[in-house]
Amino acid sequence: MNFQEILDSAKNLNGDNIGTAHIVIKAFIYILVLLAVLFLGHRFQLADELLKLEKIESKELDLKKSFEAKAFKAANLETYKQQLAEMEESYGALLRQLPSDTEVPGLLEDITHTGLGSGLDFKSIALGSELPSEFYTELPLTISINGGYHSFANFVSGVSALPRIVTLHDFTVVPKGSGGELDVNIKAKTYRYNEKGEEG
């Protein structure tokens, strides 16, 4: 067997005498056919399967992450329940600080009593128009008072200690004479829980 014999056999090769070709040429043809089959199998069958496998592996990672997150939540379920109970209690406490319709006159009395107890004279205290929002209604107040600086400071401190939420805004302070007296106008706001917001 030499290279010339193989070359001559390859030159004379056709579809009719392929069975009589030299063994090296047959092996070469078998290898080519095998490579072609492998390539086509990979191209048309295996590539799709590999793509599906890749998608499934990606989905498996997502499912593992989801499982880990759910397992963490399940392991901490009691803690979450306790936090929820604390939040509901805090929410209830905050709602109790928002007066209902019938408590607004009592709140005005509390503000007046706080001012008088601080040594202030009330010129006027008036409710403005309600400003509704989704969960609460804002009730503006205009307060005009007269008194000393320390009395005014005690009044502000007393209002902040009221059991109902009252916020003070837009102070206008004008000295009255030389005795240290002040005329003070305050825009205050209190809030009423909007029960329609709860239903919504």
25-39 pLDDT, tens per residue?
677 878 888 898 888
Asked if pLDDT for residue 198 goes beyond 60, the answer is: no
For 162, phi then psi, to 5°, come to: -65, 150
Q: Are residues 192 and 110 in the same domain?
A: yes
Instruction: Indicate whether 127 belongs to any domain.
Output: yes
Q: Are residues 66 and 104 in the same domain?
A: no
Q: What is the CATH number of the domain that holds 178?
A: 3.30.70.60
DSSP label at residue 135: S
Instruction: Indicate whether 6 belongs to any domain.
Output: yes
Asked if pLDDT for residue 196 goes beyond 60, the answer is: no
Chain segment 59-117, per-residue pLDDT in tens: 998 999 999 988 888 888 888 888 988 888 887 777 666 666 656 778 888 888 898 99
Final residue of a structural domain among 75, 108, 137: 75
Q: Are residues 56 and 125 in the same domain?
A: no
Asked if pLDDT for residue 199 goes beyond 60, the answer is: no
Q: How far apart are CA 15 and CA 13, in angstroms?
A: 7
Total domains in the chain come to 2
* Of the candidates 111, 125, 118, 126, the residue with the CA atom closest to the CA atom of residue 167: 111
Which stretches of the chain are DSSP H helices? Answer: 3-11, 23-41, 47-75, 77-96, 104-117, 149-160, 195-199
Q: Are residues 191 and 111 in the same domain?
A: yes
Instruction: Indicate whether 81 belongs to any domain.
Output: no
Beta bridge partners of 193: 136
Residue showing tokens 């307060």: 143
Instruction: Indicate whether 60 belongs to any domain.
Output: yes
Q: Are residues 61 and 104 in the same domain?
A: no
Instruction: Indicate whether 90 belongs to any domain.
Output: no
Q: Are residues 143 and 194 in the same domain?
A: yes
Q: Are residues 113 and 161 in the same domain?
A: yes
Give the residue numbers spanning the domain of 21.
Answer: 1-75
Instruction: Indicate whether 153 belongs to any domain.
Output: yes
Instruction: Indicate whether 171 belongs to any domain.
Output: yes
Final residue of a structural domain among 9, 40, 75: 75
Q: What is the mean pLDDT of residues 110-131?
A: 88
Residue 200's pLDDT is 40
Q: Are residues 123 and 184 in the same domain?
A: yes
Q: What is the mean pLDDT of residues 36-54?
A: 79
Q: How far apart are CA 70 and CA 80, in angstroms?
A: 13
Q: Are residues 61 and 22 in the same domain?
A: yes
Q: Are residues 139 and 194 in the same domain?
A: yes
Confidence category of residue 186, pLDDT binned at 50, 70, 90: very high
Instruction: Indicate whether 173 belongs to any domain.
Output: yes
